[in-house]
A and B are shown apart, each in its own frame.
Chain A
Amino acid sequence: NAGVMQNPRHLVRRRGQEARLRCSPMKGHSHVYWYRQLPEEGLKFMVYLQKENIIDESGMPKERFSAEFPKEGPSILRIQQVVRGDSAAYFCASSPGTDSYNEQFFGPGTRLTVL
């Protein structure tokens, strides 16, 4: 009974490079959420996806950030031309999406460091 999987767990990038973060939801879950946690701060919602659809991207910065959840494979959060301010822990969570309540389970996170 694998939980939410994320990889890589740690990612180091230089300014201007691209970062790709992957998230595989729990078995049977079709909804994926991405959250960002800056050092010693709370979790901020970024984007909510279902298979092949972005449902809510109201928390996503308008530039450089994009997300997808293809029919096959993991959800991917992509950050282009990273800057030092992108350094954070990025968590994804999944939920079954079978009712109007929204029990979400989190993955271990990807800790992005931008040099």
Chain B
Amino acid sequence: GENVEQHPSTLSVQEGDSAVIKCTYSDSASNYFPWYKQELGKRPQLIIDIRSNVGEKKDQRIAVTLNKTAKHFSLHITETQPEDSAVYFCAASPMGTALIFGKGTTLSVSS
């Protein structure tokens, strides 16, 4: 089955810096790669996703890249703000089935 590795587990940046979180997956059948943001005690919220027929997608300060050959995908947050502080999870899904999540990255943005 699918296995998703996520790095780093914690990330501390200064406000205004960029943050990058990386994930690798094992199942070449995976075709959908979402990223979720979870604040303490809250539900995971979908912030951006990418499908296997696309190499890069951007939404304001957030971008995601996908390298199918190497089986890895990354989340890039530019101009970080204190409200970006949260736990971020990557996930992979083979063909419309369950999401397999990475273990999460705790992002701390200090002002």
Contacts and interface: CB of A to CB of B under 8 A. Distances in A.
B25 interface: no
Interface in B30-57: 31-32, 34, 36, 42-46, 49, 51
B96 A107 contact: no
B99 A104 contact: yes
Interface in B9-67: 31-32, 34, 36, 42-46, 49, 51
Contacts of A41: 103-104
Contacts, number: 62
A33 B36 CA distance: 16
A44 B42 CA distance: 16
Interface residues of A, number: 26
Contacts of A103: 32, 34, 46, 49
Contacts of A69: none
Contact of B32 (A45, A97, A101, A107): A101
Nearest to B102: A42
Please tell me the size bucket of the interface on B: 20 to 34
A45 B31 contact: no
B97 A48 contact: yes
Contacts of A105: 46
B100 interface: yes
B70 interface: no
A106 B44 contact: yes
Contacts of B34: 103-104
Interface of A: 33, 35, 41-45, 48, 55-56, 58-59, 91, 93, 97, 99-109
27 contacts: A35-B101, A41-B104, A42-B89, A42-B102, A43-B89, A43-B101, A44-B101, A45-B99, A45-B101, A48-B97, A48-B98, A55-B97, A56-B98, A59-B98, A91-B44, A93-B99, A97-B96, A99-B96, A100-B31, A100-B96, A101-B51, A102-B96, A102-B99, A103-B34, A104-B99, A106-B45, A107-B43
